[in-house]
Amino acid sequence: MDVYRRNLMKGALMGSTLLTLGISPITTAAAPSGKPGRLRLLLGSGAADAEFAAGARTAFAANARRAATGHDATSATDARGAQSGLEVMKLNDGLLNEYEKVAYLLETFRDTRWIAVMDDGSAAVFTELVRNAGGGLVSLGSHASSGEALVRGSAARVSGLRHVWAAASPSHAAGGILAARLVQSQRSFSIVENFFSTQGAEERGTVNKFPPGFLAWRLEGAASGHDPAYLCCAGVSPTDGCQLLGWDTTPAWIPVNQEPGLETAASGKRRSAFENDEPHASGWVEAVGYAVVAAALGAEAGHESCSARAHVYQSGGVKRGRPDKAGRFTSFVIDI
């Protein structure tokens, strides 16, 4: 399937979350003109909560002070807010039993950027609560882990870790941050990000920035009225990468980064921006928690204008750390 058509379909489906119940999609947040409001974390997925929160706290500690002072925030109050810690709220009985509490929280705490993690069933209800509260969608992610499978006619394997995001713009992307952390553990994975708008991408420059270790290609979309799409691969060819993602393999992808090991002053800064010199998360759920919060605080270094971006990594070695846990959940970043 054509990459742009496929990504449009994915984004539309994720934006509405549960079409069968008639839930209208929430609006997308505008491109950031300043720092986000106070960050709060809402845990409602059950099994993924503890690890997601651990990664979120690590990201907050590494990025909150920079976010508070790097986006037109210069007052002492802003700096103290960054040091006060990430406020975490947990739904002990699940969203279906505590939806009135969540509705109250969303109505009460305004000027807030909410990070939420929900199981797939609760995600639809949460979407409706956010829409009723007038919230704007910054990003919506679907995250799943399962066994790997071979692709017919190819040496590539369908990744056991799969992440699909719909985000307001490339400025809100978390995929590069997540890729830089997951690749260290030698786990095969795929990450696809679809962007509703490229507004604001030019405000911070249009320099191409990719996680260390990845080769990158660009697919021009001017002929069909789209911004470019980017494909970043490690351990797999772009053709196999497209196959793994279900993308059409016939278009001509243009190489844009073919030196994954180059360590110049610029790439050194880039590596720090993705990794923040912090120990890597020991589990994939924790890595997702880190990436989502880091991106919500403005740590994502890639701001080039594009309609979609994918990272595909195929491991050729032994996995490090704990085995992957099977499971799935949905992440939200919401401005209210």
pLDDT digits (tens, 9 = 90+) for 70-79: 443 333 334 3
Q: What are the b/e assignments for 216-230, b being 16+ CB within 10 Å? A: bbbbebeeeebbbbb
Q: Is the pLDDT of residue 100 over 70?
A: yes
Q: Is the pLDDT of residue 262 over 60?
A: no
Rounded to 5°, the CA angle 186-262-286 comes to 30
What mean pLDDT comes out for the span 313-321? Answer: 67
Q: What is the pLDDT of residues 173-211, one digit of tens each?
A: 999 999 999 988 777 899 999 998 765 555 544 456 788
pLDDT of residue 225: 61
Q: Considering the chain, what is the average pLDDT of its residues?
A: 76
C-alpha–C-alpha distance, residues 24 and 148, integer Å: 34
pLDDT of residue 150: 54
| Interacting residues of 256 by C-beta distance below 8 A, sequence separation 6+ | 208, 216, 217, 218, 230
For residue 48, the 8-state DSSP code is: T
Please provide residue 196's backbone torsions phi and psi, each rounded to the nearest 5 degrees: -70, -30
| Interacting residues of 292 by C-beta distance below 8 A, sequence separation 6+ | 56, 59, 115, 139, 141, 174, 331, 333
pLDDT of residue 53: 96
**Higher-pLDDT residue of 101, 304:** 101
Percentage of the chain surpassing pLDDT 70?
63
**Higher-pLDDT residue of 224, 266:** 224
Looking only at the bridges linking them, the beta strands covering 229-234 and 308-313 are parallel
Q: Rounded to two decimals, what is the model's pTM?
A: 0.80
C-alpha–C-alpha distance, residues 156 and 224, integer Å: 30
Q: Is the pLDDT of residue 18 over 60?
A: no
What mean pLDDT comes out for the span 276-299? Answer: 81
What mean pLDDT comes out for the span 147-151? Answer: 58
**Higher-pLDDT residue of 294, 259:** 294
Percentage of the chain surpassing pLDDT 90?
43
What mean pLDDT comes out for the span 124-139? Answer: 93
What mean pLDDT comes out for the span 134-156? Answer: 77
Q: Is the pLDDT of residue 335 over 50?
A: yes
What mean pLDDT comes out for the span 119-131? Answer: 93
Please give the structure tokens belonging to residue 180.
């830089």
Q: How confident is the model at residue 27 (pLDDT cuts 50, 70, 90)?
A: low
Q: Is the pLDDT of residue 47 over 70?
A: yes
